[in-house]
């Protein structure tokens, strides 16, 4: 199945830390920004004002671009199997960051519909706990995710959601998912901006502007 093969692809590079994987269904790793969300759970610093987005980042390898706040510097990482991950952190708050992941997939996967509906793909962004479906504190799980908003925009899917580990800070994420042709193959693109929940009100407009500025 296409879904299983993609789960296996992303599980290798974006799997959550071992302490969070005990109850996870493999489906939860499909487009998993949980990995970076949990890895970046550090103590917050004073928030800088979020306003204009003066910096434009363009990925020369895949030809996509988006805007960033001043001071954000994208740092690429080429993984051994051909995947590419580029991250940037708020210079004033290292719990706030933006990352874009590029995952080569089969050329016949030409749209996100190849993997399912917007609702189904959205569910894979949230931690899944086996046959119980989405993890929830009320079910005794040690991690919980909540989908707040989702939309289909020009062939891309955009999601706004929160993820929290038991006893840890809640993280607020906004992600765009897209598929782009790449020669004889296709590439799955995941662009995510995230922060700790107490800061979200101050950066929500900035996160929205980052995602809306995506172009390919």
Q: What is the DSSP string of the chain?
A: -HHHHHHHHHHHHHPPPGGG-TT--GGGGTT--HHHHHHT-----PPPPP----EEEE-TTT--EEEE-TT---EEEE-TTS-EEEEEEETTEEEEEEEEEEEEE-TT--SGGGT--HHHHHHHHS-B-GGG-B--GGGT-SEEEEEEEEEEETTEEEEEEEEEETTS-EEEEEEEEEEEEETTEEEEEEEEEEEEHHHHHHHHHHHHHHHHT-B-
The whole-angstrom separation of Cα 204 and Cα 83 is 29
Cα–Cα nearest to 122, from 21, 22, 32 = 32
For the chain, give every domain's residue range: 2-212
- The total of other beta-carbon atoms located within 10 Å of residue 25's CB is 17
The rounded percent of the chain whose pLDDT value lies above 70 is: 76
On the question of pLDDT at 42 being above 80, the answer is no
Q: Is the pTM of this model over 0.85?
A: no
Residue 32, pLDDT score: 53
Mean pLDDT rounded to a whole number for the chain:
80
Residue 17, pLDDT score: 32
Residue 149 bridge partners (DSSP):
160
- The total of other beta-carbon atoms located within 10 Å of residue 202's CB is 15
The whole-angstrom separation of Cα 86 and Cα 92 is 19
On the question of pLDDT at 19 being above 60, the answer is no
Opening angle at CA 25, ends 107 and 94, nearest 5: 80
- The total of other beta-carbon atoms located within 10 Å of residue 125's CB is 25
State both tokens at 53: 């987005």
Cα–Cα nearest to 58, from 77, 72, 70, 74 = 74
Cα–Cα nearest to 174, from 213, 211, 123 = 211
Residue 22, pLDDT score: 34
φ/ψ of residue 173, rounded to 5: -125, 145
Per-residue pLDDT tens digits for 188-216: 999 999 999 999 999 999 999 999 999 99
Q: Which fold has domain 2-212?
A: Protein Transport Mog1p; Chain A (3.40.1000)
């Amino acid at each position: 199945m296409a879904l299983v093969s993609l789960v296996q692809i992303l599980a290798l590079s974006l799997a959550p830390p071992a302490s969070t994987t005990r109850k996870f269904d493999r489906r939860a790793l499909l487009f998993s920004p949980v990995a970076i969300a949990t890895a970046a759970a550090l103590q917050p610093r004073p928030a800088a004002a979020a306003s204009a987005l003066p910096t434009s980042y363009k990925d020369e390898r895949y030809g996509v671009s988006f805007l960033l706040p001043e001071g954000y510097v994208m740092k690429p990482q080429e993984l051994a199997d051909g995947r590419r991950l580029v991250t940037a952190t708020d210079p004033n708050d290292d719990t706030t960051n933006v990352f874009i992941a590029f995952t080569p997939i089969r050329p016949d996967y030409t749209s996100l519909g190849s993997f399912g509906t917007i609702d189904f793909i959205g569910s894979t962004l949230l931690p899944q706990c086996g046959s119980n479906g989405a993890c929830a504190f009320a079910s005794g799980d040690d991690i919980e995710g909540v989908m707040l908003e989702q939309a289909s925009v020009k062939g891309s899917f955009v999601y706004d959601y929160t993820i929290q580990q038991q006893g840890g800070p809640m993280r607020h994420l906004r992600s765009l998912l897209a598929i782009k042709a790449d020669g004889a193959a296709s590439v799955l693109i995941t662009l995510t901006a995230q922060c700790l929940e107490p800061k979200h009100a101050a950066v929500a407009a900035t996160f929205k502007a980052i995602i809306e500025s995506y172009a390919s």
